[in-house]
């Protein structure tokens, strides 16, 4: 690379470096690795490194992509000929006891943050998967622990620290650089800057977490799903509600699971919160585990098992219309999962959060019913089979959807709505205002052509 290679520090890894391939995709969670090759990777450890990387990209007349360390099924950080800024080694974690706030770097994971906060008697409702970095999670909105009752994780962002496409360092909040603050809560990978720190509100932790879990044969799918949809809004504000279709044995018939997780401060309160589902669940369960003591550490371990490392993934999702017949719409997804895979179909109840108006932020898409497919396999020979199954299932589901969540989407595959119409228009204006040259890569659509224009926010069907 001539003088440029000599002018920048050793944290820049060029294509001819033996460490390049590991730097390119070593931290990509999905082992269905992309055939895209950044011009260089910058393993940043400071704000100065991030600024220098932006200036390097500008000098090279190329773009910048950012990796904080989430699951990113489409590997949005890996972009052709861009300078990839990897924030994995950029560490910051500071707690303000007086204000009950933390400052975290984007690569901070939910497990790291909550292990630290537990020593302070505090909790942050980050992602269910413990190894997901907060950067992408918060930018997409953050469907975290007990989201249906506590709201979106991004609502707890007080301020952000940002490096702009020009290499300037800004602090953004409600009063200062408020357009970027607005966009950071829901823009997803189209945010027109590099966030180097989030300032977050935290909540008191809970001394008694308890779960009730039930499993039925898939032949009872409709009965169980109808019950989950009906009972979820009746549960109190401590209870997260989920239903999952999966194959415990990849070679055998799937099952349907319903899980209820209560966050309380006494065993008595937790049992009271779970009594409704314990006393009223459908008969015929092949497994019942009622009022089981648990913890965030235990829940994280369960998520690790459901989302194993070293596997190939395709994910898709939809917010189902509030008054839809959910069991009818999701029957194919829950009952026909590909054999010999670790695929699971997920239903999250979102009411009452979904009935609140979302103001003051880009995040604006939600409904009572969130559905996601996580198609998980190991053999590259199964790529076509698994991807075709997802496409077939989603072609039916999306006709009954109001839009989708950014985090479980691949813009290369399917167009849909991710924001309300007015929020989408404002977001694309903010992108153009703060990055008119398209230095920040933005949304990875088919052919990576979206550029400064961003996404259209329209349905495929």
- What stretches of 281-419 show up as alpha helix (H) in DSSP? 296-306, 326-335, 383-397
Centroid of chain to Cα 14: 30
The string of DSSP letters for 314-335 reads EEEEEEEPTTS-HHHHHHHHHH
pLDDT score, position 460: 79
d(CA 277, CA 15) in angstroms, rounded, equals 56
Q: What domains can you pick out in the chain, each with its CATH number? A: 3-86 (3.30.43.10), 93-204 (3.30.465.10), 208-408 (3.40.462.20)
Angle (CA) 340-282-302 rounded to 5° is 45
d(CA 270, CA 205) in angstroms, rounded, equals 14
pLDDT over 90 (residue 323): yes
Q: What pTM, to 2 d.p., does this model score?
A: 0.95
With beta carbons less than 8 A apart as the criterion, state whether 84 and 42 touch.
Answer: yes
pLDDT 10s digits, 19-77: 999 999 999 999 999 999 999 999 999 999 999 999 999 999 999 999 999 999 999 99
With beta carbons less than 8 A apart as the criterion, state whether 188 and 444 touch.
Answer: no
pLDDT 10s digits, 341-368: 999 999 999 999 999 999 999 999 999 9
Half-sphere exposure at residue 170, Cβ-oriented, CA atoms within 13 angstroms: 21
Q: At what angle do helices 383-397 and 326-335 cross, to 10 degrees?
A: 170
pLDDT 10s digits, 378-411: 999 999 999 999 999 999 999 999 999 999 999 9
d(CA 404, CA 397) in angstroms, rounded, equals 11
User: What are residue 316's DSSP bridge partners?
Assistant: 373
Residue 4 confidence class, pLDDT cut points 50, 70, 90: low
Parallel, antiparallel or unpaired: strands 369-377 and 239-246: unpaired
Angle (CA) 431-435-436 rounded to 5° is 100
Parallel, antiparallel or unpaired: strands 193-201 and 157-164: antiparallel
SS3 168: coil
d(CA 299, CA 257) in angstroms, rounded, equals 15
The label of the residue with tokens 């077939």 reads: 392
């Amino acid at each position: 690379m001539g003088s440029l290679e000599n002018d920048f520090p050793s944290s820049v890894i060029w294509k001819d470096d033996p460490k390049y391939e590991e730097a390119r995709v070593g931290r990509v969670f999905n082992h269905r690795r992309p055939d895209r090759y950044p011009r260089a990777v910058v393993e940043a450890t400071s704000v100065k490194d991030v600024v220098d990387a932006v200036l390097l990209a500008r000098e090279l007349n190329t773009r910048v992509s950012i990796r904080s360390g989430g699951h990113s099924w489409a590997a949005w950080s890996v972009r052709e000929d861009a300078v990839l800024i990897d924030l994995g080694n950029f560490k910051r974690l500071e707690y303000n006891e007086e204000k009950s706030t933390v400052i975290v770097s984007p690569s901070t994971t939910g497990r790291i943050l909550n292990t630290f906060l537990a020593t302070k008697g505090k909790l942050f409702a980050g992602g269910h998967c413990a190894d997901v970095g907060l950067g992408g999670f918060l930018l997409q909105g953050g469907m975290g622990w007990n989201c249906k009752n506590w709201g979106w994780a991004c609502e707890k962002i007080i301020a952000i620290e940002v490096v702009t496409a020009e290499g300037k360092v800004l602090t953004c909040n409600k009063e200062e650089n408020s357009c970027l603050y607005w966009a950071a809560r829901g823009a997803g990978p189209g945010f027109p800057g590099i966030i180097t720190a989030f300032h977050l509100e935290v909540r008191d932790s809970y001394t008694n977490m308890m779960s009730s879990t039930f499993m039925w044969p898939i032949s009872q799918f409709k009965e169980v799903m109808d019950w989950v949809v009906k009972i979820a809004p009746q549960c109190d504000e401590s209870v997260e509600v989920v239903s999952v279709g999966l194959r415990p044995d990849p070679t055998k018939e799937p099952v349907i699971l319903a899980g209820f997780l209560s966050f309380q401060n006494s065993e008595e309160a937790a049992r009271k919160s779970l009594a409704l589902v314990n006393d009223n669940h459908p008969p015929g369960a092949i497994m019942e585990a009622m009022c089981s003591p648990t913890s965030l550490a235990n829940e994280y371990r369960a998520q690790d098992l459901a989302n194993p490392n070293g596997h190939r993934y395709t994910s898709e999702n939809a917010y189902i219309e509030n008054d839809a017949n959910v069991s009818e719409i999701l029957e194919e997804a829950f009952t026909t999962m590909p054999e010999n895979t670790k695929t699971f179909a997920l239903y999250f109840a979102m009411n009452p959060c979904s009935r609140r108006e979302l103001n003051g932020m880009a995040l604006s898409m939600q409904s009572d019913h969130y559905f996601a497919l996580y198609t998980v396999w190991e053999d590259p020979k199964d790529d076509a089979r698994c991807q075709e199954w997802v496409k077939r299932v989603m072609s039916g589901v999306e006709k009954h959807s109001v839009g989708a969540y950014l985090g479980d989407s691949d813009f290369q595959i399917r167009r849909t709505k991710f924001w309300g119409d007015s929020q989408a228009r404002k977001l694309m204006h903010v992108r153009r205002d703060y990055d008119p040259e398209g230095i920040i890569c933005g949304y990875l659509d088919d052919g990576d052509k979206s550029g400064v224009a961003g996404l259209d926010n329209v349905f495929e069907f």
